[in-house]
Amino acid sequence: MLKKVLIANRGEIACRVIRACRELGVKSVAIYSEADRESLHVKLADEAICVGAGTNTDSYLNLANVLMATQISGAEAVHPGYGYFSERANFAVALEALGVKFIGPPTGAIESMGDKASAKKAAIAAKCPVVPGSDGPVPTDVEALKVSEKIGYPVLLKAVAGGGGRGIRRVNSPEELGDAWRIATAEAQASFGSGEMLVEKFVENPRHVEIQVFGDQHGNMVYLGERECSIQNLRHQKIVEEAPYAQLPERVRKKMGEAAVRVAKSVGYQNAGTVEFLVDDKFNFYFLEMNTRLQVEHPVTEEVTGCDLVYMMLRTTSGEKLPLKQANIELKGHSIEVRITAQDPDNDFSPSTGTITGWRAPMGRGVRMESHCYAGFTVSPFYDPLLAKLIVWGEDRADAVRKLQAALHEFEVEGISTNIPFLRRLCATPSWVKGEFDTGFVPKFLDGEAT
Ligand code: ADP
Ligand code: ADP
Ligand code: MG
C-alpha cells in the first residue's frame, strides 16, 4: 500500500480523500491557500503545506508551488480530486518526472479524452454511438453553418476544451448562428485558452446518464452502474444526481456499461473514470464525453454498489488488482445526492460569501454528508460555491426521496445564503418525486411550469 499521499485539492473532496487515507493507514498531506487556513481539510490531514495566496492561480493552480510541496512532503503519490489539475496531462507528466505517482489514469488516456473532439473520435472508433455533429473542430462560422444545415437545427456550439457546463451555446436557426459563434468562441477563449468549437445536434429532452468505470494495472476493467444527472442548472451544471436511473431497462444498462468499458479500454484507461451519455425517450444513448477523474457525484455509486471508489483508487495505484468481477457487481437500493451551494436562490443564484454562523447538518439512518464546512468557517469568494453534498440511501427511489426531503428539512445554515430552500421546493415537486423529468426540468421549474 502507498505510505504517504498528497491531496492536490481543497473543499469537501480533499476531506473525502484524506479520510480514506486515514482509514487505510496512509499518511496524508493537505495543501492549502492562505484563504483556506481554517478549512477542515487542513485539520484532518496529518500534515499541511501552504501553497500561496487566496486565488486559485496563486495557490491550487500554481504548478511550481504544488510540485514543490509534493517534493518537500516526501509523498509518493498525489490524488488530484476533481477540477484543478485532475485532467491536466502536464501535471501527471511533471509528477512522473519527480518519481511521484499520479492517482488516476495514464497520461495518454487523459490526453485522448482531454478535448471533446478527440474523445468523440475515440468513441466512434470503439463503436460507441455519439451525438451527430461535426467531425472534429469547426474552423469558421461559415463552416459551422454548413454543418448545422446538414444535421438540422437546433444545434449546440460546444467548446472543444470546455468543461463544467461552460462554453456551450444553443442555436435555433441560421440567423442566430453568427452572434452565437462570436459569443461562444470568445467565452471559450477566455475560460479555456482555446476558442475551438464543435457543432453538435441538440438532443431534445434527453436524460444525462453516465457510467462509472474502473480499471486496474493488470488489464481488468468493470462498470459500476449508472448515475442519472439530468437535474442541472441553467449553465448545465449538475445539482441532483442519483443511482440507479430507476426506469433504465436492464438490457440498456448492460449495453451502456459495455460501451463505456469499450471506449475506456480503447484509450488504455486505468483507475476511476466516467463516460457520459445523453439518453433519449426511446433509450437510445449517445456518447458525450469522458471525465478522466473521480466525479463530484461518485458517492451515489458507492451507496448502491457498496464499493469505496477512493479506496479502490489508492489500492490500484499501488498495484493491487481490482477486488471485484463484473458478474459480482449488483446495485442495491437507491441513492440521491444534492449539491448544497453558497448561492442565493432569491437573487439569481449569485454567490454568497462570509462566515457561517450556524451549521446544523442532517443526520440519521441512510444520511451521508461530505463537507469541509462548520459553524465559524468563512466562505471566501475565490472558490467554487460547493459547501456540501448531502447523500441519502433508501430501499428504493420512493424511500430515498422521503429521506432526502426529511434531511433537507433538517438542514440549517446561518450567516450566508444557500440553495437549500430551492432544493426543498424542487424535491417536493410531484413530477420530480415521480421520477418524470429530463435535462429541461430546472428551467421549467424556475419558470413555475413544473408540476
Ligand atoms: P462532475 O462532472 O464531476 O459532476 P461538475 O460538472 O460539477 O463535475 O464540475 C465540472 C468541473 O467543475 C470540475 O471538474 C471542476 O473543474 C469544476 N468544479 C466543480 N466543483 C469544484 C470544486 N469544488 N472545486 C474546484 N473545481 C470544481
Ligand atoms: P461539460 O464538459 O461542460 O460537462 P457536456 O458535453 O458533458 O459538457 O454537457 C453538459 C450538459 O449539457 C449535458 O449534461 C446536457 O445537459 C447538455 N448537453 C450537452 N450536449 C448536448 C446535446 N447535444 N443536446 C442536448 N443537451 C446537451
Ligand atoms: Mg460533462
User: What is the per-residue pLDDT across 283-293, written as a single tens digit (0 to 9) for each?
Assistant: 999 999 999 99
The H-or-E segment that residue 290 falls in is strand 285-291
Pocket probe mutation, ligand 1, options 290, 296, 343, 389, max atoms within 8 Å of Cβ? 296
Pocket probe mutation, ligand 1, options 9, 12, 82, 236, max atoms within 8 Å of Cβ? 82
Number of domains in the chain: 3
| pLDDT more than 70, % of the chain | 100
User: Residue whose CA is closest, atom 11 of ligand 2?
Assistant: 236
Question: Is the predicted pLDDT of residue 359 greater than 90, yes or no?
Answer: yes
pLDDT at 216: 98
Question: Is the predicted pLDDT of residue 166 greater than 90, yes or no?
Answer: no
- Cβ-based burial of 308 (10 A; exposed 0-12, middle 13-18, buried ≥19): middle
Q: Is residue 112 part of a domain?
A: no
Domain limit, last residue, from 201, 221, 240: 201
- Predicted model pTM: 0.96
| Active-site annotation holds for 293 | yes
Q: Is residue 100 part of a domain?
A: no
Whether residue 298 contacts residue 214, with contact meaning beta carbons closer than 8 Å, is answered with: no
pLDDT at 415: 98
Residue 336: domain span: 207-446
In the set 10, 16, 169, 293, the catalytic residue is 293
Residues 242 and 386: their CA atoms lie apart, in Å, by 18
Helix 141-151 / helix 174-192 crossing angle, nearest 10 deg: 120
Range 352-357 average pLDDT: 98
Same domain (yes/no): 371, 347: yes
Same domain (yes/no): 305, 401: yes
Same domain (yes/no): 167, 218: no
Whether residue 96 contacts residue 142, with contact meaning beta carbons closer than 8 Å, is answered with: no
Domain limit, last residue, from 146, 176, 201: 201
pLDDT at 157: 95
Same domain (yes/no): 195, 250: no
User: Residue whose CA is closest, atom 25 of ligand 1?
Assistant: 83
191 C-alpha to ligand 1 centroid (Å): 14
Whether residue 101 contacts residue 77, with contact meaning beta carbons closer than 8 Å, is answered with: yes
User: Residue whose CA is closest, atom 6 of ligand 2?
Assistant: 288
User: Residue whose CA is closest, atom 9 of ligand 1?
Assistant: 164
Using a 6 Å CB cutoff, which residues line ligand 2?
131, 156, 162-165, 168, 200-203, 206, 208, 232, 236, 276, 278, 288-289, 439
Q: Is residue 99 part of a domain?
A: no
pLDDT at 135: 87
User: 216: domain CATH number?
Assistant: 3.30.470.20
pLDDT at 352: 97
Residues 212 and 175: their CA atoms lie apart, in Å, by 40
The contacts of residue 364 (CB under 8 Å, 6+ apart) are 403, 406, 407
Residues 50 and 42: their CA atoms lie apart, in Å, by 10
Range 49-70 average pLDDT: 97
Residues 138 and 180: their CA atoms lie apart, in Å, by 14
Which atom of ligand 2 lies at the shortest distance from residue 201's CA? 23
Which atom of ligand 2 lies at the shortest distance from residue 276's CA? 7
What is the C-alpha end-to-end distance of the chain, expressed in Å? 52
Average pLDDT taken over every residue of the chain: 96
What is the separation of C-alpha 59 from the centre of its chain, rounded to a whole number of angstroms? 22
Using a 6 Å CB cutoff, which residues line ligand 1?
11, 82-84, 163-164, 237-238, 291, 295-297, 384, 386
Q: Is residue 97 part of a domain?
A: no
Is residue 164 very low, low, confident or very high in pLDDT (cuts 50, 70, 90)? confident
Q: Is residue 115 part of a domain?
A: no
**Partner residues linked to 367 by β-bridges:** 392
Is residue 165 very low, low, confident or very high in pLDDT (cuts 50, 70, 90)? confident
The DSSP output letter for 280 is -
The contacts of residue 68 (CB under 8 Å, 6+ apart) are none
Residues 148 and 174: their CA atoms lie apart, in Å, by 8
Same domain (yes/no): 254, 340: yes
Domain limit, last residue, from 154, 178, 201: 201
288 C-alpha to ligand 2 centroid (Å): 7
pLDDT (tens digit, 9 = 90+) per residue, 73-125?
A: 999 999 999 999 999 999 999 999 999 999 999 999 999 999 899 999 999 99
pLDDT at 89: 96
Same domain (yes/no): 300, 435: yes
User: 44: domain CATH number?
Assistant: 3.40.50.20
Same domain (yes/no): 52, 156: no
Q: Is residue 105 part of a domain?
A: no
Which atom of ligand 1 lies at the shortest distance from residue 82's CA? 14
DSSP class per residue in 131-171: -SB-SS-B-SHHHHHHHHHHH-SSEEEEETT--TT-SEEEE
Which atom of ligand 1 lies at the shortest distance from residue 13's CA? 23
Same domain (yes/no): 220, 183: no
Same domain (yes/no): 352, 238: yes
Dihedral of alpha carbons 392, 449, 352, 86, sign: positive
Same domain (yes/no): 85, 137: no
Q: Is residue 148 part of a domain?
A: yes
Who has greater pLDDT, 193 or 258? 258
User: Residue whose CA is closest, atom 22 of ligand 1?
Assistant: 384
Whether residue 404 contacts residue 422, with contact meaning beta carbons closer than 8 Å, is answered with: no
- The C-alpha cell 473521480 sits at 294
Q: Is residue 118 part of a domain?
A: no
User: 168: domain CATH number?
Assistant: 3.30.1490.20
Same domain (yes/no): 142, 229: no
Question: Is the predicted pLDDT of residue 163 greater than 90, yes or no?
Answer: no
Same domain (yes/no): 250, 180: no
